[in-house]
Every structure is written in C-alpha cells, then in structure tokens.
Amino acid sequence: MEQFKGKSAFQGIAIGKIAEMVKDSKVVRREHVEDAEAEIKRYHEAKDRAITELQGLYDKALKEVGETHAQIFEVHQMMLEDDDYNDSIENIIKSQLVNAEYAVATTGDNFAETFAAMEDDYMRARSADVKDISERVITDLSGGQGTGNVFTEPVILVADDLAPSETVQLDKSKVLAFVTREGSTNSHTAILARTMNIPALVQVPVPKDVEGKMGIVDGFTGTVYIDPDEDTLTKYQMQQDKEKEKKALLAELKGKDTVTKSGRKIKLYGNIGGVGDVGFVLENDAAGIGLFRSEFLYLQSDGYPTEEEQFKAYRTVAEMMAGKEVVIRTLDIGADKQIDYFNLDHEANPALGFRAIRICLDRVDVFKTQLRALYRASAFGNIDIMLPMITSVWEVEKSKEIMKEVRDDLSAHQIPFKDVPVGVMIETPAAVMIADELAELVDFFSIGTNDLTQYTEAIDRQNQKIERYFNPHHPAVLREIQMTIDAGHRHNTWVGICGELGADPTLTETFIKMGIDELSMSPSSILPVRKIIREMD
C-alpha cells in the first residue's frame, strides 16, 4: 500500500478504481504558411467558435452551480478577446509565417509561464485557464472535438491539473472523486468541485503509474491510498456503510419539525458561501440560511464586485429560499481571508487587526455598495443583515447611520426595499460583556464560536503548533454563550449560533437547555442535529 498526502479542496470519502485524466495528446507542429492574413482569419474563426462553446459551458454551469461559479467561463471568453493575447498570436503568424496552431500554442505557453511565476495565488491559478483556452482553440483549428473522458464505471479521477471547463463537463455519476498533482484550493476548479459535491484533493504527489489500481480518497485528511491493504480497505468500507445508513435514516426526517418531545421548537439553518450552495440547504431541509458568507463574492472575484453583481446573487438566494429567512453577513475579510485588490497592509497580528466591520467603517464606499445591493434584494425575499466582529456600541450605531443613508437614497430614487432586521455577530469577549447594550440596538445575535474561542483563549486558530490548546468546549466559552443568550432574551432579541459548535452533536442538548433559539451549520449537519433535538425531552 502506498500513501500520499495533499490538500483537501472538498471533503468526503471515495473508494474505487483510479483513472488517469486523458488529455488531448495531439502534437502541435510548426508549419510554414504563404498567406499570413488567411491564417489569421482562420485563427479568428476558430476563436469565435471557441467563444460560442464557452457560452454553452456558461449556460450549463449556471444551471448546475449558480451564477457566481459559472462566471469563470465568461472570464475565459474575455481572455480570448484580450488584446495582448491576440496581438501575440497575430504577430507570431505574420513575423514567422507559421500556422495558427503553432502561434496559439506558443502564446498559450508563454502566458501560462508568466502567470505561473507570479507570487499571487489567484494569478497563478490563471495559468491553467490560459492553457485551457489555448487548447480549445487548437482543437478547433485541428478539426478535432477533444478526446473527452468516458468511463464505464465510477472512478477516482487523477490528473496533473484540471481546467474549469473539464471539471464542469465531468459526468458526476461516473466520478467518485478527483485528485490533482498540481492546482490550488483557491482555484476556480476547486470552487466548482466543492459546489458540485465531488470529493477533491490538490497538490498530491501521486505517481503516473496508477491507472486501473484500487484507491481510497480521504477528503477529511487530504490522503490518497493506492492499492490499500485489507485492513485499510475494510476500515473505509465500514465508514462508508455507516455514512450511507445514517443518510438513509436521516432522510426520513425531511419535512418534519425540529422540535423537542416537550414541544420546544428550534430553528435549524444552513451556512453557505454562495448561490451554488443553496441547493444543499434545500436538499437537507433547512428552515432558512443562518450565515451567507458574502465575502466569498469578493474572494472569487479579481476586482470589487459591483452593486449589480451582488444584488443578483442576494436576490437569487432570497428567491430560491422562497420566503424563508436568509441572514447575510456583511463583508468579513482580513485575518486569514486576504484579497489582493483590497491592498491591505501587512500586519504582524492580522487576527487582531484591520478586518471585517473595521474595514467597512473605514471604506464606507465599499460598505455602501454592499448595503445598497442587500436592501434592493430584500424586496424579493426575507433578508436579514448581520454585522461581523463587533466590539463596541458605536460600531453598531455608525453602521446603522450608514444603513439609513442608503435607505434614504433608495427612497429618493423610488427603489423598493423592505424593513430589514439587523443583527450582530457575538465573536469577541467584548461583545459578550456589552451584550445587554447591543441587544437594545439590534434584532438578533448570532454567536460565532470559532472566533469567540480564539479570542477568549488567546489562541491563533491558524497556528498548528498550538492546535492542541484550542478548546471550543472550554468552560469560559460555554459561559459566554450562556451570558449572550440571557442578555438577548432580556431584551426580546433572538439568539443563534453560526460557528462550528452549532453542529457539534455533543453540545446540542446543552445549547437547547441554555435557551438557544437557532443553530446554523453546514447543510450536511442539519438532519443529524434534527434527530438529536427530536429525541430530547
């Protein structure tokens, strides 16, 4: 048995035969041409057909994974229209009197190498994109349709890397998981894989001679096993069987209330990162969305998302949830979530630095753009606005002043919106200690247990060296949760939990006894937690 470690792009377990991704092995030859203009025309005709193909891929991805994730195919279309890219190809054809295939391949290689050498993760990920568009045009110029990958049985797909277009075209019924030797967890391919619910690992040094061998992908630990021994195989088969049994039993809970035997009803909501995740929320029968991480709209973009782009995303989610509550957290970047185009200064201790609400109150224009989109979208569903990283009363008061300015401007222009509930995240000890004052200003609290634990215990949760000291069950954290619930209820403010502890089955009963009103978690945890609550007295 061989074992290889990489990075997890999406969790899950897969067991099956391994298949190597078949790439088009066509050799691009350099050929002399007499008529450069005719060759350039031939290139542009192939490029136009490639753009049409990409539009078809965009339409397919839009249906399967939502607008945010489909946008990569719009990016590919724009890359094919890029002046520098086209000028390079035309110049090679004219100056060297060579065939279009060779000019495209050379340009694609040059641009890909340039992107790959950049320090920025996002730009490095574009290396695979420029290779993808170049190969598409070359295939068309050569009169081919691409080799495709057709499998007679479900397989674990292994490749050096996967372009976004290759990922979205995969037959999900025939792919158990995919493993790449290169790639980034921040690439569009990784994002698409997570949304398509396919277990995925990147940066795994899998050897080339694995075709047809038995494999196991453990997306929880980022490990691939090749030709596993009987004990390992049995262990993972048993784990899979247990998961299947649990899912079958839990499926019977769909459509049933989340209520204790004594009649206490709890709201079970789902956490999402974008439009493409709503399907999982609906599939797992969540009562609403308790945390829409709006920063993912920014993380997946190479520039500030416009008001219209954000409005479309928020409106789509609100409409898909059909009147169910959708709590949208305002921009929460900084600390471990960095975005290059924000040009944030390097900080020695970013977890305690310029992040979340602090950025929004400093860059009011960015904040107002998001708030306008949120208020406009509120006319199409049941949206709540939630402010992250609150430590002081004045931060809430200032945020509400800005919200009023936005509402007044929308009213002046006769743009419809609703009276949107406003809440805050309780994720600092400071917020806990002033919870009574905060409750007088807002409609709800949502406890972010990840950061609350970090700040309470003075532990950087990104630091692996002190991971064993990070204890979300610490008595101090649980007491802070109880204090927050009590303060909220004293002021008729409902209180929920949206951090990882919300899905911790060992604490579900404790939270219910504390008086929690709502628990929000990854969609896959909703039915297991519902089962626990329904069995409680």
Question: Is 128 in the same domain as 172?
Answer: no
In a domain, 115, yes or no: yes
| Distance (Å, whole) CA 388 – CA 406 | 19
pLDDT at 283: 84
Do residues 461 and 470 make contact, with C-beta atoms less than 8 angstroms apart? Answer: yes
**SS3 per-residue string spanning 155-191:** EEEEECCCCHHHHHCCCHHHEEEEEECCCCCCCHHHH
pLDDT in tens, 155-180: 999 988 876 656 666 666 788 888 99
Cα four-point dihedral sign 500, 189, 16, 1: negative
Among residues 93, 115, 141, the one where a domain terminates is 141
Domain end marker among 107, 122, 141: 141
Whether 188 is a known active-site residue: answer yes
Annotated catalytic residue within 69, 76, 188, 360: 188
User: What does the pLDDT read at residue 112?
Assistant: 83
In a domain, 248, yes or no: no
How far apart (Å, rounded) are the C-alpha atoms in residues 264 and 517? 10
Confirm if 271 and 280 have CB atoms less than 8 A apart.
no
Kindly report, residue by residue over 473-484, the tens digit of the pLDDT.
Answer: 999 999 999 999
User: Do 487 and 393 sit in the same domain of this protein?
Assistant: yes
Confidence at residue 121, expressed as pLDDT on a 0 to 100 scale: 60
Terminal alpha carbon distance of the chain: 48
Active site residue 346: no
Tokens linked to 148: 């495709």
**E strand or H helix at 5:** strand 2-5
Q: Is residue 28 part of a domain?
A: no
Contacts of 144 (CB under 8 A, 6+ apart): 24, 26
Q: Which residues of the chain have pLDDT under 50?
A: 146-147
With CA atoms as reference, report the closest residue to 11 among 524, 505, 497, 508.
Answer: 524
CATH of the domain at 112: 1.10.274.10
- Residues near 203 by beta carbon (within 8 Å), at least 6 away in sequence: 6, 7, 180, 181, 182, 183, 184
Lookup: tokens for 190: 């990784």
Q: Which of 86, 97, 107, 110 is nearest to 31 (CA)?
A: 97
292 shares its domain with 432: yes
| pLDDT, position 147 | 46
- The number of distinct structural domains making up the chain is 3
Residues 454 and 326 in one domain: yes
Strands (E), 219-266: 223-226
171 and 62 in a single domain? The answer is no
pLDDT for residue 193: 63
Strand arrangement, sheet containing 13-20: 2-5, 223-226, 214-218, 13-20, 155-159, 175-180, 200-202, 7-10
Clarify whether residues 449 and 312 are in a common domain: yes
Give a yes or no: residue 404 inside a domain: yes
Helix/strand/coil for 226 = strand
Question: Is 243 domain-assigned?
Answer: no
> How many secondary structure helices (H) and strands (E) does the chain include?
20, 16
Do 382 and 497 lie in one domain? The reply is: yes
Whether residue 235 is contained in a domain is answered as no
Considering the domain architecture, whether residues 401 and 510 belong to the same structural domain is answered as yes
19 and 43 belong to one structural domain? no
d(CA 355, CA 437): 23
Quote the CA–CA distance of 512 and 181 in Å, as a whole number.
Answer: 45
Phi, psi of 332 (to 5 degrees): -130, 80
Based on the domain organization, do 118 and 174 belong to the same domain?
no
Residue 273 belongs to a domain: yes
> Are residues 395 and 333 in contact, defined by beta-carbon separation less than 8 angstroms?
no
Q: What are 518's strand-pairing partners?
A: 267, 496
CATH number at residue 197: 3.50.30.10
Q: Residue type for 469, please?
A: Y
% residues pLDDT > 70 (the chain): 90
Q: What is the dihedral of CA 115, 118, 120, 125, to 10 degrees?
A: 30
- The answer to whether residues 73 and 55 touch, using CB atoms and an 8 Å cutoff, is yes
* Any domain includes 30: no
Q: In the structure encoding, which two tokens stand for residue 520, read together?
A: 């929000």
Residue 90, domain extent:
36-141
Please report, for the domain that includes residue 525, its CATH number.
3.20.20.60
Same domain, 63 and 19: no
Average pLDDT across the chain, whole number: 87
**58 and 16 part of one domain:** no
Rounded Cα distance between 13 and 478, Å, is 32
Looking at 141, 174, 195, the residue that finishes a domain is 141
Q: Tens digits of per-residue pLDDT, 262-306?
A: 999 999 999 988 887 888 888 889 999 999 999 888 877 778 999
